[in-house]
Structures are given as structure tokens and as C-alpha cells.
Amino acid sequence: MISAGDFRNGVTIELEGNIYQIIEFQHVKPGKGAAFVRTKLKNIKSGGVIEKTFRPTEKCPKAHIDRKDMQYLYADGDLYNFMDMETYDQIAINADVIGDSLKFVKENEVCKINSHNGVVFAVEAPLFVELLITECEPGVKGDTATGATKPCTVETGATLNVPLFVNQGDTIKIDTRTGEYLSRV
């Protein structure tokens, strides 16, 4: 249990059957009346943000989030299979939980699996990946004055915009959080 007076950014708590991470907190001492703690809480599973106030003496159970490195093996229909690299145990995660997080991830890449009480609720891709461009139209020099881009498809099937000088067969570095091109490799 953690009291509201001990809240810090990044702490995860259980509240009303959900798991929340504290994004912001502020101890407020008005001139008249009792002090309170104003917080912004992010629901870890749904991603929604709520604002809630607590009395400093209120207590909430602290939620323990397990983050484990696992190797992405393959996709089988709506199931994505991962392997624990220490115990070699394999788990299958439903596509609803994965969402778009594996859009730029190849097989055999290492991802972080987030779970609470044994229930997986999120998969974090590596921050940066290097992928081969499988389809890309040739860029024509002199088309624009500055910073033009063109769409291309990478080996995972995802599409993104790249500068005109990038061609089919090039390997590029991508930021998986934003889906943006970073550089050629």
C-alpha cells in the first residue's frame, strides 16, 4: 500500500479495478480547508488519462508490473508467439493486445512483454530497428526545393515516408515509436 502523500511520477497503483501510472502529481495546500493531492493518472491497459484528487492519508495498493525481454518468433493467424530466452518457454499473445506495436518488428527480434498478475497487456518493440526496403518508387532529382519524401514498403509490410534518395534494396533505420525514417544503414 502507498499513501497519496508518497505519490511520485511513474508509480503504478491499482484503483477501482484498473491499473494506473501516475503521470503528474501536485500537493495542494489551500489557505482554507484540508490539503489534498491532485493527480493525472494514465490507465496502463487502455491508455486513457484521468484526473483524480486524493486526501494525503488515503492509501492505494501498489501495482507490480513485470517487464520481461522475450524473442518474437512468428505470427500464426491472430496469435503472435514469443519465447522467454532464459527458460525457453513460449507464449502466444492475441492480436488485440499487440495492436500496431509489432508493425516494424521482424521475427527473432527481442521485445519487452508487460504483464500484471500474469496477464499480458502490452508489448514494447525495440526503440530502433533496421529494415530492408522491399518496394519503393524511384525518386527524381529536381522535383522539389527541400525535404521531399516518397512512400515505401519495408520487409515487415509496413509503409512509411522516406527521402527521395532512398531506393529499393536499401536498409534503413526506423524509430518504432513514431514510425519515422532516421537514416540509411
Domain ranges in the chain?
2-60, 66-124, 128-184
Q: Provide the pLDDT for residue 119.
A: 82
CATH topology of domain 128-184: OB fold (Dihydrolipoamide Acetyltransferase, E2P) (2.40.50)
Q: Is the dihedral of CA 117, 121, 127, 132 positive or negative?
A: positive
- In 3D space, the residue among 78, 174, 172, 161 whose CA is nearest the CA of residue 125 turns out to be 174
> Per-residue pLDDT for the chain (185 aa), expressed as one digit of tens each?
888 888 988 888 988 888 898 999 999 898 888 899 999 998 887 778 999 999 988 999 998 888 899 999 998 888 999 999 899 999 998 888 887 888 888 889 999 998 888 888 888 889 999 999 999 888 776 656 667 888 899 998 889 989 888 888 899 999 988 888 999 88
DSSP, collapsed to helix, strand or coil, labels residue 142 as coil
CA dist 161 and 151 (Å) reads 4
Q: Provide the pLDDT for residue 40.
A: 94
Q: Provide the pLDDT for residue 141.
A: 66
CA dist 77 and 40 (Å) reads 38
CA dist 124 and 145 (Å) reads 38
What's the whole-model pTM score?
0.71
CA dist 125 and 137 (Å) reads 28
- In 3D space, the residue among 89, 113, 90, 92 whose CA is nearest the CA of residue 101 turns out to be 113
Q: Fill in the amino acid letter for 43.
A: N
Pick the CATH number of 2-60 from 2.70.150.10, 2.60.120.20, 2.30.30.30, 2.60.40.2300: 2.30.30.30
Q: Which CATH superfamily is domain 66-124 in?
A: Nucleic acid-binding proteins (2.40.50.140)
CA–CA–CA angle 64, 128, 19 (5° rounding): 20
CA dist 65 and 38 (Å) reads 23
Retrieve residue 103's grid coordinates: 508493425
Query: Phi then psi for 6, rounded to 5 degrees?
Result: -100, 10
The yes-or-no answer to whether 2-60 and 66-124 have a common fold is no
